[in-house]
Structure formats: structure tokens, C-alpha cells
């Protein structure tokens, strides 16, 4: 089996743009939170970005909604950081796995239709007419899950082949897991892997509010929310990683930030204690002895407390950072962001081993072990 290393990181979120900005923010300070736009729901808003810097064509920008633009931008940063951006041949054989949900809706149109449906003589016909008349034809392409990958292929020329994984937090872990396995087994040499999330959307807030998962008070650290009922604060951001075999990186003179020593994921039947047990199992499977933990904890009562208890056993004495306290909960992008931060810390010469955890808000448990390259 071949070693798999990380040679590029692209990261944007409420904490800024680029790995350095995030490592600086990780060292301390209050996160960037918007409490007004979706009151009573706080969100961690993406910092304003100069889209032109990674998505040069306005025509491409117009075809995308924010979740795709965030992802496309982060993918460009990752290619830059890996020294791959200008190598068309390399990008032509680079494989792509994206973890994604779906895209934005036209909120004004939805509201107008719901208002009109109430009075409509024939609601079904009214719905047809309004959707036919009011939906922008290209909005569909900004909604389709696999069109983040499609846009990355178009904008950045990454055209080995793309696959899009769905399924909330788990999709982020499994995207990294499958990419690593394909490199380790010798099937492929180099991957671009990651995801993005736009939290500044009433439709996603709606889904999680229906489930009762959202924190509706001013920001509090994820570990401290349980006492007050618990809940997650969604965050906007995007993160992509360039993964390749150690040999492949060396052959093109790319400097690895860290190695991905293992990725484990599973799906416990959630009941009290199952998350704690699952984390112990994943950690054993990975042989983890981390100096630092990047936790994807949501702040949801119960599972967050179980994770904290498990980490006390798994990583006694290790520093534990909750990525939720830096960027919020970015759903499909949460695991990639944890890996990016862990790689950055290791590359700086701090810890020699890191563990990234991803306990899904509703299902799915995953962990990723990183070591010095």
C-alpha cells in the first residue's frame, strides 16, 4: 500500500481565506457570527471574497449559486497551494470527489407561490404556471448536487473524472476515505477532494429547525451548549484538499503538509452511549495516539458530551479544537476542514499526529488520522 499525503489545501469560511488565516484564528479570538440576518438563528457567514481571483469568468460566476462559488473558489486555492494550477496535463488526470448537498432555491419565488396557492382556484395548475414562468432555467444547474464538481471541471480544468457523495457529514469523511483508498491501492495518483456549504440560506435552516437541531441564542462554544439545551450553528465555507501518493508528490517536487494515515467511518444505531462507543472503535481501528484533535462536534446535546468523554480517553493531554468554534458547522465540508487544519498544524511543526473527528448531527461517525509527512 502506498502512503497518501496532502500537498494542497484550499479553505474559505467565516474565519477568512487560506490556511494561514485559519490557523491564526484557531489560536484564539471570538468567531465571526451573524446574529441578525436570520434571527433568531445565528450563522457563521462566509467572508466576502473577490470571486474573480479564482473564478475568472463572470459567465461562470453567474451560473453558480453561493455554495458552488465557495467550493469552486476553495478548489482553486487548493490547486494553487499544491502547485498544480498551471499544470493542465496534471489536472486532466486529477480525480475529483466532492461531498455535497444541494443548491439554493429562489426564496422570493417560493414565497410568492405559497402566498398565491392559498387563494388559487386550482392549486396544481397555479403551481405549474408559476414554476414554468418564474423559475430561472439555469437555477436547476445551480441546485444539482453534482454540479459543484461540474463547475470545478469547467473553471479549473480538473477532468480526470468526478464523483459526488451526498449524505451530510458522512459524505465528507467518505470522500476522503475513498480517495485515500484509491491512491493507496495504486488505482489513481492524485485527487482533489472536498466540499462546501452555504449556511446563509433559509431553506437549510428550515430543514434543521424542523429537526430541532439549531442553536437559537448568541454564540457559545460547542462544548458549552449542552447545559443550555444544545444545538448547532451552521457555517458557510468551502474546503478542498489535494491528496496524492508520496511518490507522485516527490516526482513533481510537491512538498507534503502531512500524511493521511487512516480514515474510518461507520454508522452506529444511535442510542445513549453509541457515539462514545463508536469513537472508541474508530480510534482503535486507526491506532490513534493524537497530540491534537480537530473535532467536528456539532454542539448538539448528548452526542457532543459523548464525544468529549471519548476524547478524554482517546487523547488524554491532547489539545482539542472544535472546528465549530472556528467556522461553525459546515455539514458536508466539516471533515475536510478538520483535515485541512490538522495538516496545517502538523506542517508548522507542532503536533506529530492529529485526529479529526466527525460525529454527524443525526447519523454517521467518522475519524481521520494524520501524521507527519
Partner 1 sequence: MALRDKQGRPLVAVTGMGVVTSLGQGKGDTWAALTAGQSGIRRIERFPTEGLRTTIAGTIDSVDVEPFCAPMLSERLAMLAAEEAVGQSGLASSDFPGALFIAVPPVEMEWPQREALAKASGQEGDVTYKDLLKAAASGEFKPWHDLFIFGTVADRVADRFGTRGSPISLSTACSSGATAIQLGVEAIRRGEMEAALCIGTDGSVNPESLIRFSLLSALSTQNDNPEGASKPFSKNRDGFVMGEGGAALVLEDAEKAKARGAKILGYVLGCGEKGDGFHRTRSSPDGMPAITAIRQALEDAGLAPDDIDYVNAHGTSTPENDKMEAMSCTAVFGERMASVPISSNKSMIGHTLTAAGAVEAVMSLMTIGTGRIAPTINYQVPDPAIPLDVVPNVARDAQVNYVLSNSFGFGGQNTCLVFGAEPK
Restricting to residues 171-190, which ones interact with partner 1 according to CB under 8 A? Answer: 171, 173-174, 177-178, 181-182, 185, 187
In DSSP terms, 368 is beta-bridged to 263, 356
Supply 207's cell numbers: 430543514
Would you say the C-alpha torsion 355, 174, 74, 34 has a positive or negative sign?
Answer: negative
Q: Does 166 bind partner 1 (CB under 8 A)?
A: yes
DSSP letters along 139-150, please? HHHHH-TTHHHH
Cβ-based nearer residue to partner 1, 129 or 291: 129
DSSP letters along 328-373, please? -B-GGGHHHHHHHHHHHHHHTTS-SEEEEEEE-SSS-EEEEEEE--
Which residues, numbered 90-129, are part of the site for partner 1 (CB under 8 A)? 96, 100-102, 105, 107, 110-115, 117-118, 122, 124-125, 127-129
Spatial distance between the Cα atoms of 264 and 161, rounded to a whole number of angstroms: 24
Cβ-based nearer residue to partner 1, 24 or 128: 128
**Given candidates 146, 226, 274, 352, which one binds partner 1 under the rule CB under 8 A?**
146
Q: Does 203 bind partner 1 (CB under 8 A)?
A: yes
DSSP letters along 303-333, please? HHHHHHHHHHHHSTT-EEEETHHHH-B-GGG
Total binding residues toward partner 1, as defined by CB under 8 A: 81
Contacting range for partner 1; rule: CB under 8 A; set: 16-24, 131-139, 235-243, 251-259: 131-139
Cβ-based nearer residue to partner 1, 51 or 223: 51
CB of 268 to partner 1, least distance (A): 10
CB of 87 to partner 1, least distance (A): 15
**Given candidates 57, 255, 267, 348, which one binds partner 1 under the rule CB under 8 A?**
267
Which residues, numbered 208-227, are part of the site for partner 1 (CB under 8 A)? 208-213
**Given candidates 154, 220, 308, 372, which one binds partner 1 under the rule CB under 8 A?**
154
Q: Does 206 bind partner 1 (CB under 8 A)?
A: yes
In DSSP terms, 322 is beta-bridged to 295
Is residue 71 within 8 A of residue 49, CB to CB? The reply is no
Cβ-based burial of 272 (10 A; exposed 0-12, middle 13-18, buried ≥19): exposed
Q: Does 270 bind partner 1 (CB under 8 A)?
A: no
Q: Does 34 bind partner 1 (CB under 8 A)?
A: no
Q: Does 197 bind partner 1 (CB under 8 A)?
A: no
Is residue 34 within 8 A of residue 16, CB to CB? The reply is no
Q: Does 272 bind partner 1 (CB under 8 A)?
A: no
Q: Does 36 bind partner 1 (CB under 8 A)?
A: no
Cβ-based nearer residue to partner 1, 200 or 325: 200
Spatial distance between the Cα atoms of 303 and 318, rounded to a whole number of angstroms: 20
Spatial distance between the Cα atoms of 172 and 170, rounded to a whole number of angstroms: 5
**Residue whose C-alpha cell reads 476542514 in the numeric block:** 337
Amino acid at each position: 500500500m502506498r502512503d497518501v499525503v496532502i500537498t494542497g489545501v484550499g479553505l474559505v469560511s467565516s474565519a477568512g481565506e487560506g490556511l494561514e488565516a485559519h490557523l491564526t484564528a484557531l489560536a484564539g479570538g471570538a468567531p465571526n457570527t451573524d446574529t441578525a440576518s436570520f434571527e433568531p438563528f445565528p450563522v457563521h457567514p462566509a467572508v466576502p471574497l473577490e470571486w474573480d481571483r479564482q473564478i475568472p469568468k463572470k459567465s461562470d460566476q453567474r451560473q453558480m449559486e453561493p455554495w458552488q462559488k465557495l467550493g469552486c473558489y476553495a478548489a482553486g486555492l487548493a490547486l494553487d497551494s499544491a502547485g498544480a494550477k498551471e499544470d493542465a496535463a496534471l489536472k486532466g488526470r486529477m480525480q475529483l470527489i466532492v461531498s455535497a448537498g444541494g443548491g439554493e432555491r429562489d426564496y422570493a419565488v417560493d414565497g410568492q407561490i405559497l402566498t398565491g396557492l392559498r387563494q388559487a382556484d386550482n392549486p396544481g395548475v397555479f403551481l405549474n404556471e408559476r414554476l414554468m414562468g418564474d423559475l430561472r432555467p439555469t437555477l436547476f444547474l445551480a441546485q444539482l448536487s453534482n454540479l459543484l464538481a461540474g463547475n470545478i471541471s469547467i473553471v479549473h480544468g480538473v477532468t480526470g473524472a468526478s464523483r459526488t457523495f451526498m449524505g451530510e457529514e458522512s459524505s465528507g469523511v467518505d470522500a476522503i476515505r475513498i480517495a485515500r483508498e484509491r491512491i493507496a491501492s495504486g488505482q489513481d495518483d492524485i485527487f482533489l477532494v472536498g466540499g462546501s456549504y452555504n449556511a446563509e440560506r433559509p431553506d437549510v435552516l428550515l430543514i434543521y429547525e424542523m429537526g430541532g437541531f439549531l442553536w437559537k441564542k448568541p454564540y457559545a462554544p460547542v462544548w458549552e451548549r449542552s447545559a443550555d439545551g444544545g444545538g448547532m450553528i451552521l457555517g458557510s465555507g468551502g474546503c478542498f484538499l489535494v491528496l496524492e501518493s508520496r511518490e507522485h508528490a516527490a516526482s513533481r517536487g510537491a512538498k507534503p503538509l502531512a500524511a493521511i494515515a487512516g480514515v474510518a467511518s461507520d454508522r452506529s444505531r444511535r442510542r445513549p452511549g453509541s457515539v462514545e462507543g463508536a469513537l472508541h472503535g474508530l480510534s482503535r481501528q486507526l491506532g490513534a495516539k493524537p497530540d491534537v484533535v480537530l473535532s467536528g462536534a456539532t454542539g448538539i446535546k448528548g452526542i457532543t458530551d459523548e464525544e468529549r468523554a471519548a476524547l478524554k480517553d482517546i487523547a488524554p493531554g491532547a489539545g482539542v479544537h472544535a472546528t465549530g468554534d472556528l467556522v461553525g458547522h459546515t455539514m458536508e465540508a466539516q471533515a475536510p476542514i478538520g483535515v485541512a487544519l490538522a495538516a496545517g498544524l502538523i506542517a508548522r511543526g507542532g503536533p506529530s499526529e492529529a485526529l479529526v473527528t466527525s460525529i454527524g448531527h443525526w447519523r454517521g461517525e467518522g475519524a481521520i488520522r494524520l501524521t507527519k509527512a
